[in-house]
A and B are shown apart, each in its own frame.
Chain A
Amino acid sequence: MAETVIAKDVATDVALLEVRDLKVHFPFARGPIWNREHGAVRAVDGVSFEVRAGETFGLVGESGCGKSTTARAILNLIPSTSGQVLLDGQPIHGRSDARMRPYRRQLQMIFQDPFASLNPRMTVGRIIGEPMQIFNLHRPRERPLEVMRLMERVGLNPRYVRRYPHEFSGGQRQRIGIARALAVEPRLIVCDEPVSALDVSIQAQVVNLLMELQAELGVAYVFIAHDLSVVRHISHRVGVMYLGRLVEVAECQDLFEHPRHPYTQALLSAVPVPDPRIERTRQRVVLGGEVPSPEFVYPGCPFADRCPIAEPDCIEHVPSLEGDRHQVSCHLVERVI
């Protein structure tokens, strides 16, 4: 008995998804032909993390930090420049569409914009049924039933199976997107800002649905959002991105209660809390300036020029993500605590 328990623990500890030193650079050339400037936007610049089966890994950061690019590169929707993406230990980066296909069944995505991500000319039934057809799941005769069962599961009335996306509200469309992702029984769903376009009262409905589905089906999420409160609510572990790199990765509660990287600290202190008494007394670390362009190649820490505690050394040496359960990428981390 005891042995099986241990075995089970080991099994859940194995990474379902492993991202190793992922880089996505977009090369550009601009300027007049006699003075051409070549370079690359380093959207993702060496990102490593892993996601275990059944857990939610939150990825946060400001716009342009590379969260969505990371998501798309994981799914092979855009080619990565270097690095590895392993699903169950199998490399899936750089695969052709045909060779990627078997993995698509295990790896699905939910998009931010529930308007643009559903084909307006397909009925809900076809949208949710098509993935089953592609992967030849269920007997053809049973598929319509399966579609309706899924609709019910995500909180849509199965009677609406013949309706088109425009007949639904934003929150309902996001449920359609979730049902479509679930149709192939994936093990991991990458959610790219799934609730950002929704009103607050509807956001909670969708967040609760995602959490229920995880508890029930054991699906893992990579949950990308710029809303830190939502990420705290849904994630088990969280990675904070800045300029294409992860600056801090930790267990959710640990990260939000004891942030160690100066950027994470500033980011957390900038989020207003819906309580005026707390708001009046909170200490803020207001960062000067803005996120610099990801075109530059930094010899040192990319956050150094906005960092409130940077030292001359920071501009010269690139820090690496260090630590075991709580990883931080900062030379001065010992001082920050």
Chain B
Amino acid sequence: MTKPILQVENLSVQFNTDDGLVRAVNDVSFAVHAGETLGIVGESGSGKSVTHLALLGLIPQPPGQVTAGTAIYDGRDLLQLCTGELADVRGRRVAMIFQDPMTSLNPFLTVAEQLTEVTQRHLGHSRRQALDHAVSMLERVGIGNASRRIADYPHQFSGGMRQRVMIAMALSCRPDVLIADEPTTALDVTIQAQILDLMRQLQREEGTAIIMITHDLGVIANVCDRVNVMYAGRFVEEATVDDLFARPRHPYTLGLLESVPRLDEAASAELIPIEGQPPDLVQIPPGCAFEPRCRFAVERCSTERPTLSAGSDGTRYACFVDVETAPRREAHHG
């Protein structure tokens, strides 16, 4: 296999809060290769956004603190770079798209001002060059009448159009890695389909590595090559997209797949919810964090934490139990 473009090892992030120490990300490792899409799936509070904010030095410190780990990009550790060096990487080599295109664009500046800033800063474009480049980027992401619309303010664009502007901005320096944090969650499905198509097309043309953070399993199935499942700050399963959906190995992954209704399935199929709630990250149980909600839990699970290890088919998962053969506990109420 070729060398990964970004390799993260043993990343841990914690926050000092009034309630205590929140261990948001614990010992997370992953790698992305050029041209592939890596999915990170998890529910709110699972640490999927924090992981990636930490890579770009976007965690406010304090209260946040990156306590361990390396993130090797281009021979350098992103986590060790000083502010100035990091600023050269952000937007230029590793770019990010956020969930809410309204709050991530500056409402006081026109789209032109925001789009040209990136290339002027990173590529040393003149104002003229930067403007031409911005217009061509807007055209590429499918904004009609780009040379006129570029003078508009963000509020004059619809949600889908704003997300296109964000993508144009993120891709305008042709980054190697694009981190997309719930890029379509705020959008309607027909617009989501347009945006996912656009991202796929741009990836084909540029060979960008994409890290797709989402809670939507449909989006994962649609765009990703490999998937990491995150729960309570840890990866609990890593698999290719086909393996993950065909043979989920971690009870949490299985639980997620069984709890979402599918559009292509008649209503008769009963939803099997995951009972209970995600753990409080201040008091993560000593054993497996999923144990209190797990239907396969055995005695060992509450005292000992399983580590990610490879199964027979190359899928890595953190569980003592084999979900295909193990007996299921009946749903307990409470």
Contacts and interface: CB of A to CB of B under 8 A. Distances in A.
Interface of A: 62-63, 155, 157, 169, 171, 199-205, 207-208, 226, 228-230, 232-235, 252-253, 256, 266-279, 284, 286-287, 290-291
A275 B222 CA distance: 8
Nearest to B260: A200
Contacts of A272: 192-193, 196, 216, 218-219, 221-222
B255 interface: yes
Given A62-B189, A199-B215, A271 B263 contact: yes
Contacts of B256: 200-201
A148 to B, nearest CB: 16
Contact of B274 (A201, A230, A235): A201
A256 B220 CA distance: 22
Contact of B221 (A230, A268, A279): A279
B262 A199 contact: no
B330 interface: no
30 contacts: A62-B188, A62-B189, A62-B190, A63-B188, A200-B259, A201-B274, A202-B277, A203-B260, A204-B260, A204-B274, A205-B273, A205-B274, A226-B188, A228-B189, A228-B263, A234-B267, A270-B190, A270-B192, A270-B193, A271-B218, A272-B219, A273-B263, A274-B218, A274-B220, A275-B245, A276-B245, A277-B245, A279-B222, A286-B193, A290-B158
Contacts of A268: 263
B259 A287 contact: no
B275 A205 contact: yes
B272 A204 contact: yes
Nearest to B246: A277
B202 to A, nearest CB: 16
B263 A232 contact: yes
A321 B263 CA distance: 25
Contact of B271 (A207, A253, A270, A278): A207
A252 B266 CA distance: 9
A237 B227 CA distance: 36
Nearest to B259: A204
Contacts of A199: 43-44, 215, 278
Interface residues of B, number: 50
A181 to B, nearest CB: 20
A256 B263 contact: yes
A77 B259 CA distance: 34
A216 B102 CA distance: 43
Contacts of B334: 157
A228 B218 CA distance: 12
Interface in B222-280: 222, 224, 241-242, 245-246, 255-257, 259-267, 270-275, 277-278
Contacts of A277: 242, 245-246
Contacts of B222: 272, 276, 279
A155 B188 contact: no
B160 interface: yes
Nearest to B194: A286
Given A201-B255, A233-B267, A290-B161, A207 B261 contact: yes
Contacts of B270: 208
Contact of A253 (B245, B266, B275): B266
B191 interface: yes
B68 interface: no
A128 to B, nearest CB: 20
Contacts of A203: 259-260, 273
Q: Which 6 pairs show the lowest CB-CB distances between chains A and B?
A: A272-B218, A204-B273, A233-B261, A204-B259, A274-B217, A201-B274
A284 B277 CA distance: 36
A274 B262 contact: yes
Contacts of B161: 290
B41 to A, nearest CB: 10
Contacts of B271: 204, 207-208, 233
Nearest to B184: A272
Interface in B203-222: 215-222
B221 to A, nearest CB: 4
- For A204, A269, A286, A290, which residue has the most chain B Cβ atoms within 10 angstroms? A204
Contacts of A169: 277
Contact of B264 (A62, A273, A287): A273
B197 interface: yes
B262 A273 contact: yes
A229 B277 contact: no
B267 A252 contact: yes
Contacts of B263: 228-229, 232, 256, 268, 271, 273
